[in-house]
């Protein structure tokens, strides 16, 4: 079975990294973007998640992000998030590279988290560059910068924007050093993030692909495991005889 092969590769790895997508947080009640109940089925991406959309209608964009932010604030890390943090604490996982913007890995206890697409709980000013944290939902929609009064926007990467160069470089370094990558809960179609796990393969490492549905990694993965994130990590922790997260 795929899970048994995955466990053996995890045990043998010396530099294991985890690459996560929306499927990891789906079991915390946060909708995925491309699944059957994905957010994009309710909205057109061009209306909500591009710089042009924000310039055109910042209030609409912020109403949507306020709704998403409320979901995130009310969500709790699930068993998969906690298991990844436990594996890091045990020295098995060296870094988590995530496409998620919900911060649940950090709340579960993961220390080394590389956020490729930003974080929905952070904001930045489009005028002066101020950056801050949103400890609660914005009282004003759209929110304004406390320094210059300019518009604040979510500190996330929108379609058509480049990834933060420092985070991307850090992710590439981890992928080049890794001998195994656990890819969990992602379709892998968003670039350039989706190509990062392939670097591990190209350098002779192992790619363990955990997803309940087929994705782009199926044809090349060392092991394909058809499970949800929580199912997989529950079985993995049990097989490693590690304490429950």
Residues that are catalytic:
117
DSSP state of 144: B
Is 39 within 8 Å of 202 (Cβ atoms)? no
Whether omega before 219 lies within 30 degrees of 0, making that bond cis, reads no
- Determine the Cα–Cα distance for residues 210 and 226; give it in Å rounded to an integer: 6
Which residues on adjacent β-strands are paired with residue 208? Answer: 182, 223
Which helix (H) or strand (E) segment holds residue 105: the answer is: helix 104-108
* Encoded tokens for 198: 């392939």
- What lies within 8 Å, CB to CB, of 102 at 6+ separation is 25, 28, 30, 72, 75, 119, 120
Q: How far is CA 93 from CA 10, 75, 90, 178, 241, in A?
A: 9, 24, 8, 10, 16
Q: How far is CA 163 from CA 58, 155, 168, 228, in A?
A: 21, 11, 7, 27
Phi, psi of 76 (to 5 degrees): -120, 145
């Amino acid at each position: 079975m795929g899970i048994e092969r995955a466990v053996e590769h995890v045990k043998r790895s010396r530099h294991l990294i985890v690459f996560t997508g929306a499927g990891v947080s789906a079991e915390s009640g946060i909708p995925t973007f491309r699944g059957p109940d994905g957010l994009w089925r309710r909205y057109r991406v061009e209306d909500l998640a591009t710089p042009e959309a924000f310039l055109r209608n910042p209030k609409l964009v912020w109403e949507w992000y306020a709704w998403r932010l409320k979901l995130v604030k009310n969500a709790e890390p699930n068993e998969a998030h906690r298991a990844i943090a436990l594996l890091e604490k045990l020295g098995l996982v060296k870094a988590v590279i995530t496409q998620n913007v919900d911060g649940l890995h950090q709340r579960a206890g993961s220390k080394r988290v590389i956020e490729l697409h930003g974080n929905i709980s952070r904001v930045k000013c489009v005028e002066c560059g101020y950056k801050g944290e949103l400890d609660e939902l914005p009282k004003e929609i759209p929110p304004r910068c406390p320094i210059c009064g300019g518009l604040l926007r979510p500190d996330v990467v929108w379609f058509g924007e480049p990834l933060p160069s420092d985070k991307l470089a850090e992710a590439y370094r981890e992928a080049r050093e890794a001998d195994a990558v656990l890819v969990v809960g992602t379709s892998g179609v968003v670039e350039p993030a989706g190509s990062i796990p392939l670097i591990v393969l190209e350098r002779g490492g192992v790619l363990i692909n955990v997803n309940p549905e087929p994705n782009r990694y199926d044809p090349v993965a060392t092991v394909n495991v058809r499970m949800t994130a929580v199912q997989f990590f529950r079985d993995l922790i049990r097989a490693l005889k590690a304490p429950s997260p």
